[in-house]
Structure 1
Amino acid sequence: MPYKPQIEPGKTDYKPDVQITSLGEKIGDAAVPADFPAHILRFRNGRWDQSVGLQRLSDEQWLAHFGKFDPLPDNLAPPLALRYHGHQFRTYNPEIGDGRGFLFAQLRDQEDRLMDLGTKGSGTTPWSRAGDGRLTLKGGVREILATEMLEALGVNTSKTFSLVETGEKLMRGDEPSPTRSAVMTRLSHGHIRIGTFQRIAYEKNEALMHQLVGYCLEQYYGGAQTEHPATELFAKVTQQVARLAGSYMTAGFVHGVLNTDNINISGESFDYGPWRFTPYWEPGFTAAYFDHESLYCFARQPEALHWNLAQFASALRLIADSNPLVATLESFPKAYGTAFTEHFCWRLGVRSEGFERDRDLVVAAEKGLAAKTIEIDRFFHNWGRMEDIAKPDDDMSEFAEFRALVACRQRERMPVSDYWQRPDPCSMHIDEVESIWSAIADDDNWRPLDDKISQIRDMGHALRNG
């Protein structure tokens, strides 16, 4: 089945629908938003605000809701810091939860999906431990860049909805300090994580586990279709996580922190910290400086996500039989392979012809890319421009097999967008990320960020429509 990108934002009316409270008091704890000394609107997502009926808010109203966190009408009051556990670099931690964020609102989008507005940097919560509950402005800018780029590249990702600078000076050990502060709001299709189920299994709360399984099936997957909802949910989540893994690889993206508390039950990527895009097809490329064993390096991401699903299965054993869970877990490699090849063909703009034929094409492309004679984005851009995958004075024989196979494939997309007329691809490598931030940090110059967002969205339009 050919890959289909995620839905595009459309217009709808504001439709609050607070479903999370149906899970009772043990799903989260009341949180109090921080009282910030300043509220400066730095980013407002003009594509996605209309999808949840908030496009008519004035900037003043926007800051009241997404800087001061005045409740939206008929929505959560107070917000909830969600409870969860998680394996962090494969070490189980029962002392975590929403430590610098909370679930602020739930509402329906234009597809009638239940959407969450969640925060990052909104102050301390019962789960902050020794943290200050804050977010650096640089962290917020980096999350904008990550979510915009991934959305354009067809990855199922949360959307950075709002970024407000808050006027505090933060001390951080991994960047020059003091540094500027911000609060961010993300729009996502749910904030329930594998770690949410792990906490409930840890507490042996069978009733809540049944309730949460039903909630996730109803809100993210259209309701239960069988008499075994826990195994049904696991099968659906496994398929979505396989799609996520495949899209990460095609995008050349390295999340950096694929812990179980960072894996969403909807299969949607979110929570971006030390992320990077690898310029070349480099299996060992690692994003997080603290990932000393390269556990979450580029090539090991499918393995990491598979391991996380095993922890999900282990949690579900509280209410489900092991055999069907194991069978589904064993289906992940094939599901991932199919998702990867389909997404690869989509980015190439050629028609998917089934796993076997797609696999041959993708393996040939990987062999060429592994030689590191051409960057990943340049490879896809040259093909999208209908150019030969070659450089002047170099026939790049490592792509000979790929050329022969791709010559027989039918195009799904023709290069009609202005994006394809540009000589260089739209990339997002670390040097450019740092340059965009430097313009803000040194001169309060937001133009490079605005320009980059525009370029990314142009690429996204070209990849969807030609």
Structure 2
Amino acid sequence: MSLTIPFDNTYARLPEGFYSKLAATPVAAPSLLAFNRPLAEELGIGGAIAPEEVAEIFSGNAALPGADPLAQLYAGHQFGTFNPQLGDGRALLLGEVVDREGKRRDIQLKGSGRTPYSRMGDGRAWLGPVLREYVVSEAMHALGVPTTRALAAVRTGEEIYRETALPGAILTRVAESHIRVGTFQVFAARRDGAALEALYRYTLARHYPGAADPHEFLDRVIARQSALIAQWMSFGFIHGVMNTDNCTLSGETIDYGPCAFMDAYHPDRVYSSIDRMGRYAYSNQADIIVWNMAQLATALVPLCPDQEAAVTRFTEQVHAMPERIRADWLARFGAKVGLDAPTPEDGVLIGELLSLMQAEGADFTNTFRGLLDGSARDQFTDRAAFDAWAAKWRERIADQPRAEALMAGANPAFIPRNHRIEEMIQAAVAGDDAPFHRLNAVLSQPFTDQPEAADLARTPLPEEVVPATFCGT
């Protein structure tokens, strides 16, 4: 075997109750669909890289020296209801590497077979969700959003069954870690103080060195989550399943199942097929992250000597979150309209534009991008209303020398639009991977005008609209 991965595993050295160790279930005929060579280089993965060998390794068929595969245990609130035991039902952490910048990263197979946490599932993934996660996670990285990354996608040569027979696939996912709010919740719910303390110490060392106590730890987690949500919203991104088991302590976006980027703007937009009550709608994401952090705070209480005082202080920290999120939101949206240091009054100006967009169903991405070249006006039928807003906006940015640069760096020309992802998936199922590779190439430069890819910036025709997205389980 010529490909080498410099594993340096630490999670596997935590107590056995944190995970179940097992190997991936072999697949029949793995074939490589994509391998992210720049990311591999970042991770220090070396050696001659033959497609057949990569497919064997990242399908789980070939054991790698130094790997210590395991499925992680966690719990979680799913749509507000607590499930005391979840865990990796179709994923295996192969191990960790320390990348070229000295940052520890997990390498995980997703769709690698049953584990003790599969809960009657088959532990597999079909091709569509694998390609969706590959494309969207890499697009998010290119946008500058903290996210898990896609290292490889492999066809398994097997069919799996959902409503019908579908081609199987496995994604290799890279993350700063897969520690979740739900990882803390499982040990807090079990009243396993020793395990909770071990997890806290491990997470502190890995992600928040120097945090003096659980309160400072929570404050630093909150800061990352607040900044992340503001970024999501600034790009019109809807996660779709913000359960506490999908909320990482590293502050990375994870789980690209029923996610979507909005086309026509509406604050109550929902795409997830399983979110029937709109819990995780676009505009609710700021509230839900506060709720999720409250659950983390609850799990941290047993770590504090004076638990009554801890509850009071944690409550204050959580209650202060909305104001922090508003500030992060204003900074992000201020940049989108060319403002370097936006004020609360600027928030009113931004809100007026969003209201106009909502009233007319203007495209979120193309409207903001159009502020750069004057095409934003074309998104509106009530041109007079937009012109009135634009007059106030131009007056406001007249003394902003960096306005154009700010807008160019905050407003992408390209996002992974739902209808293009669906087209890409259908083509791949039929054996044509060209749309997948084209999407990845274009989305790797989202802020660059690419006239040859103008079709990928186009909003969907009525018959192309994808109204719902689905989990990959």
TM over 0.5: yes
Aligned pairs for 1:70-89 within 5 A: 70-74=62-66, 76-77=67-68, 79-89=69-79
Asked if the contact 1:242/1:336 (under 8 Å) is kept, the reply is: yes
Question: Does the alignment pair 1:274 with 2:258?
Answer: yes
Residue 165 (structure 2) aligns with: 178
| Structure 1 unaligned regions, length at least 5 | 1-12
CA distance in structure 2 between the partners assigned to 1:158 and 1:373 by the alignment = 31
Residue in structure 1 matched with residue 193 of structure 2 by the alignment: 206
TM-score by length of 1: 0.87
Q: Distance in 2 between matches of 1:60 and 1:355?
A: 56
1:458 aligns to what SS in structure 2? coil
State the partner residue of 1:331.
320
Contact in 2 for aligned 1:113/1:220 (Cα 8 Å): no
SS of alignment partner, residue 389 of structure 1: helix
- Secondary structure of the residue that 2:195 maps to in structure 1? helix
Is 1:250 matched with 2:239? no
Quick check: 1:68 aligned with 2:52? no
Q: Distance in 2 between matches of 1:195 and 1:438?
A: 34
Change (3 A) 1:376 1:396: farther
- What is the CA deviation profile of residues 49-99 of structure 1, one whole-angstrom value per residue up to 9, with x for unaligned ones? 11101154512332232123534443x32x110001111111111231100
1:192 aligned residue: 179
Match of 1:96 among 76, 86, 97: 86
Matches within 5 A, 1:112-131: 112-131=102-121
Asked if the contact 1:152/1:461 (under 8 Å) is kept, the reply is no
Counterpart residue type for residue 29 of structure 2? A
- 1:220 equivalent among 190, 199, 207: 207
Deviating more after overlay: 267-276 vs 368-377: 368-377
- Trace 1:317-396 onto structure 2 (pairs within 5 A): 317-320=301-304, 321-347=310-336, 350-356=338-344, 359-384=347-372, 386-387=373-374, 389-391=376-378, 395-396=383-384
The letter of the residue matching 2:59 is G
| 1:367 alignment partner AA | S
Q: Which structure 1 residue ranges, 4+ long, deviate > 6 Å from structure 2? A: none
Partner of 1:235: 219
Provide the aligned C-alpha RMSD in A. 2.5
User: Deviations 1:246-276 (Å, cap 9, x if unpaired)?
Assistant: 1111111111111010100011001111111
Deviation at 1:413, TM superposition (A): 5.6
Q: In the alignment, is the contact (CA less than 8 A) between 1:14 and 1:108 conserved in 2?
A: no
* Structure 1: distance between partners of 2:54 and 2:343: 47
- Larger CA deviation: 144-153 vs 454-463: 454-463
Deviations 1:226-249 (A, max 9, x none): 2x2x22211111111111111111
What are the ranges of 5 or more consecutive residues in structure 2 without an aligned counterpart?
A: 305-309, 451-473
Retained in 1: the 8 A contact 2:264–2:362? yes
Instruction: Report the CA distance between 1:355 and its aligned residue.
Output: 5.0
> 1:208 & 1:166 partners in 2: Cα distance?
37
Aligned length: 435
AA at the equivalent of 1:332: M
Question: Which of 41, 46, 54 pairs up with 2:45?
Answer: 54
How many angstroms apart in 2 are the aligned matches of 1:414 and 1:334? 27
Partner amino acid, structure 1, of 2:79: F
- 1:19 is aligned to 10
Deviations 1:112-142 (A, max 9, x none): 1110011210000011120000000011011
Alignment correspondent of 2:289: 305
Alpha-carbon contact 1:378-1:425 (below 8 Å) kept? yes
For 1:338 and 1:133, locate their aligned partners in 2 and report how far apart those are by CA, in whole Å. 41
Deviations 1:397-423 (A, max 9, x none): 243343433344332664999xx9xxx
Q: Distance in 2 between matches of 1:266 and 1:313?
A: 16
Residue 210 of structure 2 aligns with an amino acid whose one-letter code is A
**For the structure 1 residues 313 and 415, does the alpha-carbon distance in structure 2 shift closer, same or farther, using more than 3 Å as the test?**
closer
